[in-house]
Amino acid sequence: MRESYREELDDINACLVGMANSVGSAMSTATTALLDADVALADLVIAGDRRIDAVRESIEERCFTLLARQQPVATDLRAITTAMRIVADLERMGDLAEHIAKVARMRFPEHAVPQEVRPIFLEAGHVAESLVAKAGTVIAKRDVETAIELEAEDDVMDQLHKSMFRELLSEDWPHGIEAAIDVTLLGRYYERFADHAVSVARRVIYLVTGERPLSTPAETH
Amino acid sequence: MRESYREELDDINACLVGMANSVGSAMSTATTALLDADVALADLVIAGDRRIDAVRESIEERCFTLLARQQPVATDLRAITTAMRIVADLERMGDLAEHIAKVARMRFPEHAVPQEVRPIFLEAGHVAESLVAKAGTVIAKRDVETAIELEAEDDVMDQLHKSMFRELLSEDWPHGIEAAIDVTLLGRYYERFADHAVSVARRVIYLVTGERPLSTPAETH
């Protein structure tokens, strides 16, 4: 019994890594849909989010069943409650990728992102993908070093977010209010995506070291 | 031992209700700070968020200790894992109240909210307070009826959010891009606050009825 319990815990962890990969693909596809105004890709992301939600439910139930049947203590118990929190972060990251796809869909056949801020969103997409890939590694290997790297990379997203506001507020923003609203919300979605990746990293740091990180990720406005 | 365990579970629940009350006060104060451009009130909310975060940590640890020491099964186990999720929703609601206070602070001595959308934010503040008050009742009494009412009231927030966009996109929006960015983000904060209240309600419905609600709260935009 003890053996299969350990196998189940490992398998749940593998599912979390798989979920991180799915979320990474969703984010990558959503960014392409956004920048290319590609409605077919946007629809793929929107339809795919249901699968990510289903994986969340399945992992939650498996964690619950482990708690009920095996009554783990100490590190194993902490690993399961950590998994239950990580799965919530990952699901939310999937939602945010879906939100980005929905903005692309809403503005189709127009581009939601004007040329001036296109490089910012291209870069934000790359950073988001890198963050979630690192989050997958952190989950797979309980790798504190990568977790710390991940936090540092979140600073890049914050800088991108600030330069996005600078563009919006520059005197020659010619695209009017609607585009400004889209860009503001899109910027928020990328930033929140990054915050949840940081949250995953911090939960693993806490699991491994027992040290609770100082604060929730700083959010720029 | 069994007796004190049940008392501990009841006491954790009482702490969740207290936390919902604190979040309600934070939201109420943040809305006043925003509408009156009152920086002293804004600072109160910002400083107070640390207390809400500390309550979250304390409740999480108490839940964890209960799991480790008492190894509950069935309904009690479900109650504890539900509490661990509700505490995350409530903490996030506190963060969102803090975000609103920070916008008020950033624009002081100006008003962040132009006159045209002031009635919308006044109403959004009332709805937010009502939602979190209902969430407190739902937690305190495991009251499914109030949980269902709460979900219906979230529709009012969605309508307010839509009318906010209508104002922003009307041809005579005279306040420029910066105010539009503020209003867009503020609208998002109120909407997410309401979504988390719905999430609390749904978690309690699941705990009481065993039926998982159909989806995460619909987000407009």
Instruction: Check residues B5 and B76 and name the one with the higher pLDDT.
Output: B76
Asked if B216's CB is within 8 angstroms of A185's CB, the reply is no
**A160: pLDDT strictly greater than 50:** yes
Q: What is the DSSP string of chain B?
A: -HHHHHHHHHHHHHHHHHHHHHHHHHHHHHHHHHHHT-HHHHHHHHHHHHHHHHHHHHHHHHHHHHHHHH---HHHHHHHHHHHHHHHHHHHHHHHHHHHHHHHHHHTTS-SS-GGGHHHHHHHHHHHHHHHHHHHHHHHHT-HHHHHHHHHHHHHHHHHHHHHHHHHHSTT--SHHHHHHHHHHHHHHHHHHHHHHHHHHHHHHHHHH-PPPSSSPP---
Q: What is the pLDDT of residue B149?
A: 96
pLDDT tens string B51-64: 999 999 999 999 99
Average pLDDT rounded to a whole number, residues A77-85: 95
Confidence category of residue B210, pLDDT binned at 50, 70, 90: confident
- In this prediction, residues A148-164 reach a mean pLDDT of 96
Residue in A73, A184, A219 closest to B68 by CB = A73
Q: How far is A208 from chain B (nearest CA, A)?
A: 16
Task: Say yes or no to pLDDT of B35 above 80.
Answer: yes
Q: Which of B102, B181, B188 is opposite residue A168, by nearest beta carbon?
A: B181
Nearest by CB to A81, which of B84, B106, B165?
A: B84
- Judge whether A31 and A100 are in contact, CB under 8 Å: yes
Q: How far is CA A30 from CA A26, A105, A193, B188, in A?
A: 6, 10, 12, 20
> Are B125 and B156 contacting, i.e. CB atoms less than 8 angstroms apart?
no
Contact: A181, B178; criterion CB under 8 Å? no
How many residues can be counted in chain B? 221
Q: Name every chain B residue with its beta carbon within 8 A of the beta carbon of A165.
A: 181
In a mutational test of the B interface, the residue from A96, A181, A216 whose CB has the highest number of chain B CBs within 10 Å is A181
Q: Does B175 touch chain A (CB under 8 A)?
A: no
Task: Name residue, tokens 């839509």.
Answer: B162
pLDDT for position B54:
97
Mean pLDDT across A53-76: 92
In eight-state DSSP terms, residue B174 is: -
Q: What is the pLDDT of residue B29?
A: 98
Q: Is A131 helix (H, G, I), strand (E, B) or coil?
A: helix
In a mutagenesis test of the A interface, which of B82, B181, B188 is the best target, namely the one with the most A β-carbons within 10 Å?
Answer: B181
The size of the A-B interface in CB pairs under 8 A is 77
pLDDT (0 to 100) of residue A220 = 43
**Architecture of domain A2-209 in this structure:** Up-down Bundle (1.20)
